[in-house]
Amino acid sequence: MKQREENVNIKEKNRVFLLFILYNPLGFMLQYNAKISVLGGEKGMINRFLEIIEDSSRIVFFGGAGVSTESGIPDFRGEGGLYGLVPEQMISHSYFVSHPDRFYEFYRTKMIYPEARPNNAHKALAYLEEKGKMLSVITQNIDGLHQQAGSKTVRELHGSVHRNYCMRCGKFYDVTHILNSDTVPVCECGGTVKPDVVLYEEPLDSSILNAAIRDISECDTLIVGGTSLAVYPAAGLINYFCGKYLVLINKSPTPADRMADLVIRENIGEVMGKILQEKK
């Protein structure tokens, strides 16, 4: 069963990688005829960013771990693991099955941040949705901060710590049940409760992935923030974009910088926060 799941996962990865290879090279880059802003002119770039937002009516935001770090949630990949393992091994499907107690020891302390609150990036996106300018937020984060800020259409590619299900009867449990369990959280029926989070070795939910692809292919502006775009599926997803403006907001360079209309290497909360200023 595990082997089969891994095979499916690998097949899916290969498929997306193939799409990436097919669509990404030169032709795609030339299409964009990049109009990258020169670094240093921060004020000019922010003004350009606000103009783009003004000129857009179907925005998609695609975000990674960097969106949540400003809310005090560290990127778990930068955290140390336990028992001589790296985080990616500790939150894998096979480790959950073989060592659920150790899995939860790591998961409870390094993946759940009940005190975290939305920052200006989350708030600005909720505000844009309220104004009718957003198609959706697509996120790789599992913290639920976009919904906490008020966003309604959120595609959670990797699931959410706020949803947990009994593996035997399917009963739903919220995050407090996980936090209040000393070891492996169990259901009243005796079954093990599993987070609705995509673990390593597990495939993404295809309906969420398809909705994300549809939104990216239909939006007029794609804002990518807080992700280095180095890993699957982020790298492949943005190749479905064929709208007007591609904006990248990330502190370090990404492989997609050359395709972008605007690249801003600043804190995402600070940049997105400028959108909120018109609210006052």
Task: Give residues in contact with Zn ion (CB under 5 A).
Answer: 166, 168-169, 171, 187, 189, 191
Active-site residue, 158 included: yes
CA atoms of 248 and 82, how far apart (whole Å) = 34
Nearer to Zn ion, 171 or 214 (CB): 171
Q: How far is the CB of 171 from Zn ion (least distance, A)?
A: 5
Nearer to Zn ion, 144 or 185 (CB): 185
Q: How far is the CB of 95 from Zn ion (least distance, A)?
A: 22
CA atoms of 164 and 172, how far apart (whole Å) = 6
Q: What Cα–Cα distance (Å) separates residue 21 from each residue in 27, 82, 215?
A: 11, 36, 21
Nearer to Zn ion, 10 or 169 (CB): 169
Nearer to Zn ion, 150 or 191 (CB): 191
> Token pair for residue 142?
């599992």
**Residue 135 CB neighbours (<10 A):** 21
Q: How far is the CB of 183 from Zn ion (least distance, A)?
A: 17
Q: Which of 146, 158, 162, 177 is catalytic?
A: 158
Q: How far is the CB of 187 from Zn ion (least distance, A)?
A: 3
Residues marked active site are found at 158
